[in-house]
Chain A
């Protein structure tokens, strides 16, 4: 019996390691798009993985569920970051340096005649987050629901509401969102 448990435990450790490695770059991208300066994403990423290891026994065993679980941890750490001390580890220094070598994405992108991003920014936060998860990170609406801890039907309804608001704002008052 003990041997069996030991094998299961080792399997769990290997599975989480594989899960983290498979999703590390995507989670970093998720954080890069939301953190300014971009280099600070390295610290939140590191915190995300450390917390994931701490919660190892709660990690879903399937790949998709595990991916959503990791993103949910990253999201919560990001949301709570305001309250935390900046904890910096030596291991993140190199990644910070790499991230700092390229300009922050928001200012480096090609201009859109309409500043759609400005319109998205003005959405209520719960709608905005859904739009960003779907259009920035490529999640389906049900995946985004899982990450944000809401039901899929609520997510669909909020996403539809967000699209309606954006369509109205961008069609009726395009000049307000023109990039200066």
Chain B
């Protein structure tokens, strides 16, 4: 088989793509335009089930209606944490760290991951500015409101808000700050990773 024949055959293996029709171009334009707005939102909540919420820190995007939480739990979290909230509910959460548009061997991602793995959440002290930030209770209220809106729009698949857990949210933020500070101090890139955390609280039986 000569070179020309081989080249021709290789090029013939190219899978087809969807026709570039007007509607496809319009849909593509929507994705392009939306991407500019998404970058401004560093942190968002995602609802995945009855009691569980997912937090994304530093990431590019988050779902408005993610698939089952089992999809997320299919991965072993890089780090887990647990505590009792103010109401005495047992809360557990996990975090995974994602590379953001870089290979898993990227030095910035590896440094961020190393810092995350080194965090002792049992001993982690929440800084005062995070601990006293009213934004956590406001976000909790926003989360409940979002679930209410979902329930109104999806009466056959309603969700119930889980017990509030601002402490886990604060711990995630504290960890994110530690990681970005550590990565920055090493002269590395803080845009090369994101943290995704999920957790839930269960009322403890008396």
Contact = CB atoms under 8 A, between A and B. Distances in A.
Secondary structure dominating the interface of A: helix
A86 B66 contact: yes
Contact of A91 (B21, B31, B71, B98): B31
Given A83-B96, A85-B72, A94-B27, A49 B13 contact: no
Nearest to A114: B9
B64 A163 contact: no
A146 interface: no
B17 A33 contact: yes
Contacts of A29: 17
Contacts of A117: 13
B61 A46 contact: yes
B20 to A, nearest CB: 6
B101 A136 contact: no
B63 interface: yes
A50 B98 CA distance: 14
B24 interface: yes
B203 interface: no
Q: Give 6 closest A-B pairs by Cβ, nearest first.
A: A105-B15, A50-B60, A49-B35, A91-B34, A53-B39, A51-B101
Interface of B: 1, 3, 6-7, 9-21, 23-28, 30-36, 38-39, 46, 54, 56, 59-67, 71-72, 75, 96, 98-104, 189, 191, 196
A116 B11 CA distance: 10
Contacts of A47: 60-61
B92 to A, nearest CB: 18
A85 B54 CA distance: 10
A60 to B, nearest CB: 14
Contact of B60 (A33, A51, A97): A51
Contacts of B196: 84-85
A84 B60 contact: no
Contacts of B189: 55, 58
A149 B103 contact: yes
Interface string A18-50: 001100110011001100001000100111111
Nearest to A16: B36
A180 interface: no
Given A25-B20, A91-B33, 12 more contacts: A24-B28, A25-B28, A46-B31, A51-B60, A51-B100, A88-B63, A94-B26, A94-B30, A99-B24, A105-B15, A116-B10, A163-B3
B96 A50 contact: no
A32 B31 CA distance: 15
Contacts of A55: 100-101, 189, 191
Contact of A89 (B18, B26, B64, B101): B64
Contacts of A32: 15, 17-18
Contact of A54 (B13, B39, B46): B39
Given A46-B31, A95-B27, A90 B101 contact: no
20 contacts: A42-B31, A46-B38, A47-B61, A50-B60, A53-B35, A58-B191, A73-B101, A76-B102, A80-B103, A83-B98, A85-B75, A85-B196, A86-B66, A88-B64, A88-B65, A98-B21, A105-B16, A135-B14, A166-B10, A170-B9
Contacts of B18: 32, 38, 98-99, 101-102
Contacts of B33: 91
A91 B33 CA distance: 9
Interface in A69-122: 72-73, 76-77, 79-80, 83-92, 94-95, 97-99, 101-102, 104-106, 108-110, 112, 114, 116-117, 120
